[in-house]
Structure 1
Amino acid sequence: MRLFLLAAAALPTLAALAPTTALAWGGTAHAVIDRAAIEAIPDSGPTFLRRHIDYIAGSASLPDGWRGDSEPFSKMEEDPNHGWFKEQFAFLKPIPRSRHEFVLALYKHYEAIKDKDPATAARTNVRWTGTLPYAAMESYERLIACMRQFRALQAARKDTSFSEQHCAFQVIRLGHYIGDGAQPLHDSVNSDGWRGENPKDYTRDRTIHGRFESEFVDGIGLTVKDIAPRIGAPGHRDGDMFTAVLAFLDDASSRMEQVYVLEKRDGFSNFKDKDVREMVYAQTAGGAAMLRDMICRAWAESASKPQPLTPSPLDPANPAHNPETGSAPAQVGA
């Protein structure tokens, strides 16, 4: 009973630490990002996705529905996939090429600091760091596999309808994570109000997140036409995709403070504010461009026959095998 009372007494403190559930760009911007990305796919890309553009855009916010308190197993797995709070793992360089190695690294750091710095230790876990780039890469590689199946069925002149639907679903997942990553407040511990020292007197109001990404976006009536001219030609045709995703998140994170600067004007209540509009247009266009690029790169990757690794990542004989995770981390791609 005494342990129960102690735990109950600690609940207010833990609740104060807990981040809110940010719903990322709201439905409007997520749908616009996905639709703009599909429309920007060149004729040499996976044009079959155009047939599913309404399904993809209409389901753009689907992953947010997997984060409800009433589905705790789903929530625990899904919540971290929507953020990347860089300040929380500045000690970790380089970023592991494995979700499991990332989690273990956080726990080891927690163990090392829990007695001397309990406040920081309480936030050294995946809920306070996020796992967005891992979720994005996992969806990206599943998309490659789906597209490879589509190619095989198409070559055999068989029905591709189910395969197309599988690919479209993976685009929905990938698009949501990339869309989240394009929103600067998803790439900082200041996701829902400024934390820590605050010499510039930025708002600590947790509603800043929704006021920026939902209320303002809906207020200006964001459409594909607003961002399509900004998307540009396809990129990321080569190079390591995980590295590219991390760079994409770093770029968005660098604009986090500017969101707070703009909020100080009028709390995002002026829908004619050109600077806030520019921030929305730039970030949603950047998200659409990154999504389009990853879709096209997945299509190109799917044209190659998969090459098994020797030794297998699960084989202890693999030089990079990590016995703590039971696997070698992902190799650097070309």
Structure 2
Amino acid sequence: MKRLLSLVLAAAAVAAPQSAAAWGGTGHRIVGQAAARALPAEVPAFLRTKQAAIDLGELSREPDRSKGSGKIHDQDRDSAHFVDIDDEGKILGGPSFLPMPATRNDYETALRAHGLDSVKAGYLQYAIVDRWQQLATDFAYWRVLKAAEANPAWKKNRAFFTADRKRREALIQHTIGELSHFVADGSQPLHTSVHYNGWGDYPNPNGFSTARLHGPFESELVRDRVDPAKVAAGMTPVKLCQCAIEQRVVDYLSATNRLVIPFYELEKAGGLAPNDPRGPEFATRQLSAGASELRDLIVEAWAASATRTIGWRPIAVQDVLAGKVDPYPALYAID
């Protein structure tokens, strides 16, 4: 998908926020479906069906499909798709990308100290963490509802547990769709860089292209020349970080950002030209990286959900699974 017209007409790269849709609809669909088909058996079965993979591929496109809903909607959400890291590891020449400030408010405070804000700078790292945390909570509710359905001591409220579990499954699929989108954005090097659509108005001793490369690379090239089967084949084995989600996310985005110069070197060498295999190979590797990361984040969210609390007043997931606490009051709401 190409940039919105307002961005195409922008005079300076640093003066306007990005509005591109990393990978276009085709790439996002590929990442979502590949990740879903690679989920291990420990993840709930409703996410591992053929239809679930198809659905995730479509839901992965939603954060782009909602664009154009209105000025407030778009300005708040468009900058979730990128983060503009410069050649010194700083955000638009301001605060360092690393370490990641603890909250979005802390991030905004650091940006304001340099006359910046996240509308210009992007906040992809926070979008990924936010959706992962929501997914872990969604999974926690699902665990509780599944256990409550099966417990004969709580059968008088089984109809509610069953209906609420089905609602939660729909919410989980939607949450994973959003997570998928932002994780895929994070595998596209141009979504982690100030050089997001040509090298831009920056020192350019290597003579890298200043042409608008973003859309043709992530959309037309992927649509016409990337094989989804090769993306799936290129996925890595499940790798769990055993670290804070914030650390995993910035490590992932930092790894993608290190490919910005190789991307421009590839373009300079003719790798994006029609019939040159190097462009599709590069895109395939990054789509595989995005699908692998998404699968791993789903697995980690599932594991984390076992230690959560849910409802009001809060109850521990493990207490429900052990049959110690009837979750109905916390789930139905005692206000």
Q: TM-score range by the shorter chain?
A: 0.7 to 0.9
Structure 2 match to 1:325: none
Structure 1 match to 2:41: 43
Secondary structure at 1:168 match in 2? helix
* Counterpart-to-counterpart distance in 1, 2:188 and 2:105: 25
* Counterpart-to-counterpart distance in 1, 2:11 and 2:28: 34
State whether structure 2 residue 205 is matched by structure 1 residue 204: no
Structure 2 match to 1:184: 189
> What is the identity, as a one-letter code, of the residue corresponding to 2:264?
Y
* Counterpart-to-counterpart distance in 1, 2:15 and 2:34: 37
Structure 2 match to 1:330: none
Deviation at 1:12, TM superposition (A): 8.0
Structure 1 match to 2:300: 297
Deviation at 1:14, TM superposition (A): 7.6
* Counterpart-to-counterpart distance in 1, 2:18 and 2:308: 43
* Counterpart-to-counterpart distance in 2, 1:243 and 1:78: 23
Structure 2 match to 1:248: 252
Structure 1 match to 2:56: 56
Residues 144-293 of structure 1: matches in 2 within 5 Å? 144-157=136-149, 158-159=161-162, 160-195=165-200, 196-206=202-212, 208-223=213-228, 225-266=229-270, 268-271=272-275, 273-293=276-296
> What is the identity, as a one-letter code, of the residue corresponding to 1:293?
D
Gapped runs of 5+ residues in structure 1?
A: 1-10, 111-123, 309-334
* Counterpart-to-counterpart distance in 1, 2:309 and 2:285: 36
Secondary structure at 2:48 match in 1? helix
The match for 1:91 among 77, 81, 95 is: 95
Secondary structure at 1:156 match in 2? helix
State whether structure 2 residue 120 is matched by structure 1 residue 128: yes
1:230–1:80 distance in 2 versus 1, CA, 3 Å: same
Secondary structure at 2:309 match in 1? coil
Q: For the Cα contact (< 8 Å) 2:15–2:120, is it kept in 1?
A: no
Secondary structure at 2:208 match in 1? coil
* Counterpart-to-counterpart distance in 2, 1:186 and 1:57: 20
Q: For the Cα contact (< 8 Å) 1:28–1:222, is it kept in 2?
A: no
Residues 108-119 of structure 1: matches in 2 within 5 Å? 108-110=113-115
- How many residues are matched? 281
Deviation at 1:266, TM superposition (A): 4.1
Gapped runs of 5+ residues in structure 2?
A: 1-8, 150-160, 312-335
Return 151-160 or 132-141, whichever deviates more. 151-160
Normalised by the size of structure 2, how large is the TM-score?
A: 0.78
Deviation at 1:24, TM superposition (A): 0.7
* Counterpart-to-counterpart distance in 2, 1:13 and 1:193: 13
* Counterpart-to-counterpart distance in 2, 1:95 and 1:141: 16
Q: Percent identity?
A: 30
Deviation at 1:138, TM superposition (A): 0.6
* Counterpart-to-counterpart distance in 2, 1:181 and 1:55: 21
Q: For the Cα contact (< 8 Å) 1:140–1:174, is it kept in 2?
A: yes
Structure 1 match to 2:328: none
Secondary structure at 2:278 match in 1? helix
Question: What CA RMSD, in Å, does the superposition of the two structures yield over aligned residues?
Answer: 2.3
Write the deviation string for residues 122-146 of structure 1: whole angstroms up to 9, x where unpaired. Answer: xx22123210010111100111111
Normalised by the size of structure 1, how large is the TM-score?
A: 0.78
* Counterpart-to-counterpart distance in 2, 1:67 and 1:197: 33
